[in-house]
Chains A and B, each alone.
Chain A
Amino acid sequence: MSAVSVAPSTPLPTATKVPFGRLVMVEWRKMTDTRAGRVMLMITGGLIALVAGIILLVTALSDMSALDASTWMSALSFPVSLLVPVLAIMIVTQEWGQRTHMVTFTLEPSRLKVVFAKLLAVFVLGIVTMAIAVGIGAIGTVAGAAIAGSDPSWNVTGEALAWTLATQILYLLMGFGFAMLLLNTPAALVIYYGYTLILEASVFSALYFIFDWAQDVFPWISMQVAMMPFIAGNEMQAAGVAVEDGALGIARLATSIALWVGLPLVLGTMRVLKSELK
């Protein structure tokens, strides 16, 4: 027999509905209280620092002129796009993999609230990570210029910054959507990397410039191709490619986003809300 009583030593606060903010805090804590989560954050931070370090080292050792701010930003947002969506995937799939979803959803039966709390927590993490990357990029721009003995080139427009941020958020949402749809870490990772690193980075871009039909089809089904007129309109014009940044371009962008982000999010949410948890 235990000498300790089951009853609380001091009266506990009365039970009221679990506030949404508290759920977000709990989900935030869950991202960082396991070794897997901490390692992911450390790798993300480490990669950003590594990329920045290598760029500065190369600038210092070669006669290369200092990189401008926009190159810094795209270089440093690469590790972010590589790793932050993984956290968005893990915050969902880990619950199923470790079967803690049984605990999570008995403490908060509203599954939609839990989904939103997870999304908000990982969203805030994505913004913070991106802010750090942009901040380090700014420092790198100054440091690189100092090393090369030139003036820093601040050629990042507000628009470019917004597009970079929007891209990262779309990838994060995409990872989150596929995670809910598949509820399995490896499967969601394969789909996410398969899309971003294989389809977008190699297949779509290679075929796009080879086949005429690809130029008609891909803007509708590839987020990256659909975004090009908005992000790299000037470069496209210089290369002699028609730039569709009007209604057609927006329709294409919306369609590709609906396909890769909207659809997985909707179907995934439905799966989480309806599935039997055991």
Chain B
Amino acid sequence: MYAMIKVEGLTRVYGTFTAVDDVSFTAEAGKVTGFLGPNGAGKSTSMRIMVGLTNPTKGRATINGSLYADLPNPGRHVGVLLDASAQHDGRTGREVLTLAAMTMGLPTSRVDEMLELVSLTPSEAKRRIKNYSLGMKQRLGIAHALIGDPKVLILDEPANGLDPAGIRWMRGLLKEYADRGGTVLLSSHLLHEVEQIADELILIGNGRIVAEGTKDEILSSQGTVGQSLVTALDNEALTVALKAKGYSVEPIGTGMRVSAAPAEVGKAALEASVVLTDLRDGGAGLEDIFLQLTAETQREAIAPAHPEGASA
């Protein structure tokens, strides 16, 4: 295995509060791993432990087999962005990158390369961070993480503050990075941000991993396949046909929810010669699973999943 992040039994306890509870996973090379959970689920604490800013109570995290603190010139191995706002307000964007390049022993040409990569113009680079928008800080943070040409990226909420075009840009950038064999671990509390870019997902709530795998793996492991939402010109005729096949049917809005996969519903409609106007998968989407699994840590009480249009 090349340049992967391995987290084993990571636990961090603060007094009586367990922020990270026995978390183990592997983020593999060539893949984008999404670390997903609501605010306060333990994502940031886990990431800080990975880069040695916080000591674990138990367990350990290694980068390609060694502890972060043992990496020679770690900026050249791991690109880290934990908080884009954690930069000195009075420094310019260029100065922040110059300090990083100096520490890592890189030529200053690398600073210009990175500014160009994240589309910060020369005049923007000369401005102090104080006058940066969160999106600009985030771009600078990504430049800072990439400047040492690391093989591993650890990014905490990197899409935070980016506009939709910026999010798309970052997605492309990280995809390219992973395709070159890099390892990317990025966290988010927003599912749709991660869903489209991550090859692997790790869902965390209350400091524990509640589900992990590819999107499809998580969906099927939660047993939410075999539900459809259907609307027909003659709903009653279709209901009769479906019930005759032993499926349960429950009216919802102008249509029905059926305990069968869309293909089965389509077949039944064909046999009963009923015209369908709408037929789609009614299984719970990733978002519902995410909310259900992490319900205990949500600040707002979550109503039981009503996945109308959840797969839209």
* Interface, chain A (partner B; CB < 8 A): 1-2, 4-10, 12-13, 15-18, 22-23, 25-26, 29-30, 33-36, 94, 98-100, 102-103, 105-110, 276-278
Contact = CB atoms under 8 A, between A and B. Distances in A.
Given A6-B146, A102-B86, A103-B100, A109 B74 contact: yes
Interface residues of B, number: 54
Nearest to B150: A15
B72 interface: yes
A5 B146 CA distance: 11
B110 A12 contact: yes
B144 A103 contact: yes
Contacts of A94: 88
B48 interface: yes
Contacts of A108: 74, 103
Nearest to B182: A6
B169 interface: yes
A36 B90 contact: yes
Contacts of A105: 52-53
Interface stretch (B172-180, B194-202, B256-264, B270-278): B172-180
A30 B149 contact: no
Given A4-B116, A34-B88, A109-B68, A15 B103 contact: no
Contact of B105 (A18, A29, A36): A18
Interface string B57-101: 000000000001101111111101011011111110001000110
Interface in B35-63: 44, 48, 51-55
Given A23-B103, A26-B102, A35-B90, A9 B113 contact: yes
B73 A6 contact: no
A29 B102 contact: yes
A106 B51 contact: yes
A2 B170 CA distance: 9
Contacts of B177: 6
**Majority SS of interface residues in chain A?**
loop
Contacts of A109: 51-52, 68-69, 71, 74
Contacts of B48: 276-278
Leading 3 A-B pairs by shortest Cβ distance: A15-B76, A99-B86, A34-B90
Interface in B154-180: 168-169, 172-173, 176-177, 180
B221 interface: no
A101 to B, nearest CB: 8
Nearest to A30: B99
A110 B74 CA distance: 11
Nearest to A19: B105
Interface in B100-153: 100, 102-107, 109-110, 113, 116-119, 144, 146, 148-149
Contacts of B169: 1-2
B54 A106 contact: no
A25 B102 contact: yes
Given A29-B99, A33-B95, A109-B52, A6 B176 contact: yes
Contacts of B78: 106
A10 B113 CA distance: 10
Contacts of B109: 9-10
A99 B85 contact: yes
Residue among B77, B103, B117, B176 having the largest count of chain A Cβ atoms under 10 Å: B103
Nearest to B153: A6
28 contacts: A2-B118, A5-B117, A6-B149, A7-B149, A12-B106, A12-B107, A12-B110, A13-B105, A13-B106, A15-B148, A17-B73, A18-B72, A30-B99, A33-B95, A33-B99, A34-B88, A99-B83, A100-B88, A102-B82, A107-B104, A108-B103, A109-B51, A109-B74, A276-B48, A276-B53, A276-B54, A277-B53, A278-B53
A108 B75 CA distance: 8
A105 B89 CA distance: 18
A85 B177 CA distance: 45
B72 to A, nearest CB: 4
Nearest to B80: A106
B203 to A, nearest CB: 23
A276 to B, nearest CB: 5
Nearest to A9: B113
A177 to B, nearest CB: 23
Contacts of B100: 103, 107
Given A6-B173, A16-B73, A22-B102, A33 B149 contact: no
